[in-house]
Structure 1
Amino acid sequence: MGDTLNVGVIGAGKISTAYATTFARLPGVAMTRVADLDAGRAAALAGQFEGVRSGTPEELLAADDVDLVLNLTVPQAHAAVALAAIASGKHVYGEKPLAAGTTDARGVLDAAARAGLVVGCAPDTVLGTGLQTARASVEAGDIGTPLAATAFMITPGHERWHPSPEFYYQPGGGPLLDMGPYYLSALVHLLGPVRRVTGVTATPRATREVGSGPNAGTVFPVEVATHVTGVLEHTGGAVTTLMMSFDIWAGQLPRIEVYGESGSLSVPDPNNFTGPVRLFTAATQDWADVPDRAGYRDAARGYGVADLARSLRDGTSPRASGELAFHVLDVMERLLEAAATGTSLDVASTCVVPAPVPLSAVPEPGA
């Protein structure tokens, strides 16, 4: 790899344009190729950007002008595409989750380690000013020792807006595996890894209906839990109450709040890069906004890839790492298992909490 990390995108679906648009304004990262099982869709994305070629996944994997494969396929294909990229000698950055299960995810990380390649994984929203400012506040002791947290994600379901929502309701999907990575990655940054979980799940509806696009009105089966409630014990002793649901129309619940011995912190939506961070302390007895003090300014999807490029130049670990993504997947898998068995379970994996992001415009060496 030279000064620029050349990226080949496999999977030209809805999220791919967001990544491609970000790459166009980021130094150190360039999109060179796009591939998709639908050749027309790949060509349409490539055609929006000068010098980008489209083709088949096999052509992309064999290309010399691709250093990293950005894996934007559906969750069930994440592991297979990642392994093919690694076998082709290319680094991998994937959409979340890392794989549909921890067995496949471990296979990806082990293959990369043997090949001397790096694996990164979304979400990279945790690298923006919202979550990083909240983390800086916790680490500065603004709320004292963290004792507990709450994390809520509620929606009536993605079939209302997504034209092909079936994969959200198949193995590898559901509210926990779909949205949980945003919340759990944020919680690891704020409170450290998770060592024990318990949970309860429900599937109130056996079918769903596509609400938009050419397949509107199509009814399809639900194969996963669509409401998940869990309790997470972090290695530092804090306890998080988590609720992820595709079954709730509306609520006035916080996205994430962290409660300490001397105050509380309101954390912005972890699906976004920015947002207000609010602090309440025993001394002030009032809520106040916390100014930005850490994170990549004006970040967007793709900053995790740029941070990985920075890490390759620095010889450090990427912040949106495969190791963190594996731990998050392990937590989610154990939580669902605990719910199915009516027990609490230890989480065997752990991870290093990623380095904090200094307040900066873009990922660059030394940052």
Structure 2
Amino acid sequence: MDRKPVKIAMIGVGAISGIYLQNITHTFRELELVGVCDLIPERAEKGAAYVKGEIENDPQLRERNVSVPKIYKDMYEAFNDPEVEVVLNLTRPYEHFEVTKQALLHGKHVYSEKPLGVDMDEANELIALAEEKNLRLGGAPDTFMGAGIQTARRLIDDGYIGDVVGASCAMVCHGHETWHPDPEFYYKRGAGPMLDMGPYYITALVQLLGEAKGLMGMAKRSFTQRLITSEPHRGEIVDVDVDTWLSGNIEFTSGAIAQVFTTFDVHYTAQSRFEVYGTRGSMMVPDPNTFGGPVLLLRPEDFAAAPKTDPGLSRHGVPDFYAGWREMPLMYDYPVNSRALGLADMCKALRTGRDHRANYQQQRHVLEIMTAFSKSGKQKAYVPITTGYERTAPMVNDPLKIMHGILDD
């Protein structure tokens, strides 16, 4: 088996690139970043300078012969570089399709940030092209591969809450224009709360509950414009082109029903709530935009005594929703921000021939579910989900065989 690091070209060196640069440089030793590219050259230069600085300050990186990535003048120079095996597409959502398509046409495997495309036509075209050329295609989110959701999956699969009957998850905030340096694209085609944050929640749902069968949803945009209050675009007005309030219910092939709510319209402190309910108990799943915990479990034996009256009548003060729930130990690696974990897994699969976990089958299924919310709202009807789905393999939790930063064979 070829043990040489897989050589990566990064296209797009914006806000999300920082954690990828950090983890590719320090954590995932089976990857080698050979070059970076951005429409704004200064961003590419900053990315390359970061790696150079880390090498200068870390003797372990020098021992591993980590090199400073080259700077490509444009993405086509990267696609034509014979060194490059995999293109890491970190461009804005509405640019994902064209960048991925051109990379595939140039014979490169592609791992992209979410979503795979902004609609099913884009996704299906990319998948057909990847299959035609026998190339790997995958992408974010990879948070489901982290310690938190992998532990939740293991507990559910082992029957800790019995048979799953349903779930409820919500992503509630007032948008990203108060903190993100370039927030306009969050209100343009391919973004909004469902396509931006929804991938984390819907991916976690299908990992935990399996294939979706159909859904009913409603959607709207509460504000036609947004005022940016973050630098460097403070004071600028953004026109809102996408739905910013989406809610509905997903029916799963298993019979479970999940209630989902995402919005950029609400002032709220706890951005994420994710719960799964079973015949023998309930589980609080950690924020699916993170890699760690906590994972909380509540079973009937956790109640000190059955209430004698309606418990709502005796409750006073601010409720503690998770009082009495037990925190479960995390059973897997990668509890901290490990973005590029999915990329590392795909690259290991490229070397070994196994399937990769963050694959296009999952991305397509998740995209169809997400786009069905607005579709259902416009049609005011139940929308069947037509793409099939099989859960990808769980992570391996044997520290005696697998080192941190080295994926399983």
TM-score, scaled to structure 1 = 0.97
Counterpart residue number, 1:53? 70
Counterpart residue number, 2:4? 3
Please point out which of 99, 122, 128 is paired with 1:110: 128
- In 1, Cα distance between the equivalents of 2:118 and 2:346? 23
Root mean square deviation, CA, Å? 1.4
Any residues of structure 2 matched to 1:33-72 within 5 Å, and which? Answer: 33-50=35-52, 51-55=68-72, 56-72=74-90
Contact 2:290 2:337 in 1 (8 A): no
Secondary structure of residue in 1 paired with 2:127: helix
1:329 partnered with 2:367: yes
Please point out which of 20, 26, 29 is paired with 1:27: 29
Query: Offset of 1:20 from its aligned partner?
Result: 0.9
- In 1, Cα distance between the equivalents of 2:140 and 2:292? 16
- In 2, Cα distance between the equivalents of 1:94 and 1:172? 14
Contact 1:296 1:357 in 2 (8 A): no
Q: 1:219 to 1:299 in 2, by over 3 A?
A: closer
Name the larger-Rg structure.
2
Contact 1:128 1:273 in 2 (8 A): yes
Contact 2:195 2:370 in 1 (8 A): yes
Secondary structure of residue in 2 paired with 1:233: strand
2:187 aligned partner, one-letter code: Y
Any residues of structure 2 matched to 1:1-367 within 5 Å, and which? Answer: 3-25=4-26, 26-50=28-52, 51-55=68-72, 56-250=74-268, 255-285=273-303, 286-298=324-336, 300-359=338-397, 360=399, 361-366=404-409
- For residues 81-100 of structure 1, give each alpha carbon's deviation from its aligned partner in whole angstroms, at most 9, with x where no partner exists: 00111111110000001011
Secondary structure of residue in 1 paired with 2:207: helix
- For residues 145-198 of structure 1, give each alpha carbon's deviation from its aligned partner in whole angstroms, at most 9, with x where no partner exists: 000100110111111111221111111111000000000000011000211111
Contact 1:314 1:365 in 2 (8 A): no
Query: Offset of 1:297 from its aligned partner?
Result: 4.7
Please say which of residues 7-16 and 54-63 is displaced more in the overlay. 54-63
Quick one: percent identity of the two aligned structures? 35
1:45 aligned partner, one-letter code: G
Query: Offset of 1:242 from its aligned partner?
Result: 0.4
Gaps of 5+ in 2: 53-67, 304-323
- For residues 59-112 of structure 1, give each alpha carbon's deviation from its aligned partner in whole angstroms, at most 9, with x where no partner exists: 111111211000011111101100111111110000001011110111111101
Please say which of residues 105-114 and 253-262 is displaced more in the overlay. 253-262
Counterpart residue number, 2:318? none
Contact 1:138 1:144 in 2 (8 A): yes
Query: Offset of 1:317 from its aligned partner?
Result: 1.3
The count of corresponding residues between Structure 1 and Structure 2 is 366
- For residues 214-251 of structure 1, give each alpha carbon's deviation from its aligned partner in whole angstroms, at most 9, with x where no partner exists: 22101121011111111001111110000000011115
- In 2, Cα distance between the equivalents of 1:222 and 1:297? 35
TM-score, scaled to structure 2 = 0.87
- In 1, Cα distance between the equivalents of 2:206 and 2:216? 17
Query: Offset of 1:295 from its aligned partner?
Result: 4.6
Q: 1:254 to 1:12 in 2, by over 3 A?
A: closer
Q: 1:145 to 1:254 in 2, by over 3 A?
A: farther
Query: Offset of 1:283 from its aligned partner?
Result: 2.8
Q: 1:104 to 1:252 in 2, by over 3 A?
A: closer
Contact 1:313 1:365 in 2 (8 A): no
1:258 aligned partner, one-letter code: V
2:405 aligned partner, one-letter code: V
Contact 1:124 1:301 in 2 (8 A): yes
Query: Offset of 1:334 from its aligned partner?
Result: 1.4
1:301 aligned partner, one-letter code: R
Secondary structure of residue in 2 paired with 1:43: helix
2:7 aligned partner, one-letter code: N
Q: 1:298 to 1:252 in 2, by over 3 A?
A: closer
Contact 1:206 1:221 in 2 (8 A): yes
Please say which of residues 334-343 and 287-296 is displaced more in the overlay. 287-296
Secondary structure of residue in 2 paired with 1:47: helix
Q: 1:365 to 1:130 in 2, by over 3 A?
A: closer
Gaps of 5+ in 1: none
- In 2, Cα distance between the equivalents of 1:299 and 1:313? 25
Query: Offset of 1:362 from its aligned partner?
Result: 3.1
2:358 aligned partner, one-letter code: A
- In 2, Cα distance between the equivalents of 1:363 and 1:145? 34
Secondary structure of residue in 1 paired with 2:254: coil
- In 1, Cα distance between the equivalents of 2:272 and 2:100? 35
